[in-house]
Amino acid sequence: MNFKQAVGGREWAVAGVVIVISTTLVIGRHFDASWAGGEGFRPRLEIVLTQRDETTETDCIAVDPTRENIQTCGGAMKKVSMGSSTIWMDDNTSLVVINDRQGKEELALYGGRVVVSGPVIIDVREAQFSTTGSMTFVNYSWMYRADVLAMTGDAHGSFNGADVVISEGNAMSFDTLPPYDEPKDIAFSTQTESVKDFYSWAR
């Protein structure tokens, strides 16, 4: 073996080691492994659905096979348990599971009305909100507007690049598509005729 062959073989060996290490790190990051710079592996949480009324139409009362879509229809209301979080869904509500890993719970509200208790993050397009207590969120998807009420504790969120805090008992309305107007403080009642049945159950 001449000198050039030896050097070439060494370069291939180094390249092989680099590829193996890089591939291992990519896989580790995918699973959030601590040795790859992540926060450590977090198991997927079981998603448990409880229907309010067993006699209610159930065609839309299920998580789809990919564990992504959760919908209600036909007059149904549903409770979703996910780790230490609970989400009550009104009729005609659509949620999408963004993250079901323990400590990273995140759901997108595509439309409808929910009450949320626990650390889960709720997304409405670019906005994100969470609470240490409970909050209710309404996404009027056809109007490109959403309302959020901090029911117990404060609600913390980000909207249009700015952080917002909604103190307990207060509510805010905001646009979900640009051009964004300034968020507005609003009066939010859980006792109007059309919603009081849902809020009396969602506790």
The pTM of the full predicted model, rounded to 2 decimals, is 0.75
Q: Which residues pair with 155 in a beta bridge?
A: 131, 166
Band of residue 192 on the pLDDT scale cut at 50, 70, 90: very high
pLDDT at 3: 44
Distance of CA 139 to the CA centre of its chain: 14
Select the highest-mean-pLDDT range: 14-23, 52-61, 186-195. 186-195
Band of residue 44 on the pLDDT scale cut at 50, 70, 90: confident
Closest by CA to 87, choosing from 137, 155, 30, 144, is 137
DSSP structural state of residue 44: B
Give the amino acid at 29. R
Average pLDDT, the chain: 82
Model confidence at 16: pLDDT above 90: no
pLDDT at 12: 66
Tell me which of 46 and 148 has the higher pLDDT.
148
d(CA 161, CA 64): 33
Band of residue 65 on the pLDDT scale cut at 50, 70, 90: very low
Mean pLDDT over residues 26-36, rounded?
Answer: 57
d(CA 97, CA 52): 21
Lowest mean pLDDT across 27-36, 47-56, 135-144, 160-169? 27-36
**93's tokens:** 């509500």
* Alpha-carbon separation of residue 117 from 22, 43, 59, 124, 172 (angstroms): 40, 21, 26, 17, 18
Mean pLDDT over residues 46-61, rounded?
Answer: 64
Select the highest-mean-pLDDT range: 11-25, 40-54, 177-191. 177-191
d(CA 13, CA 9): 6
Span 93-152, pLDDT tens digits: 999 999 988 888 999 999 999 999 999 999 999 899 999 899 999 999 999 999 999 999
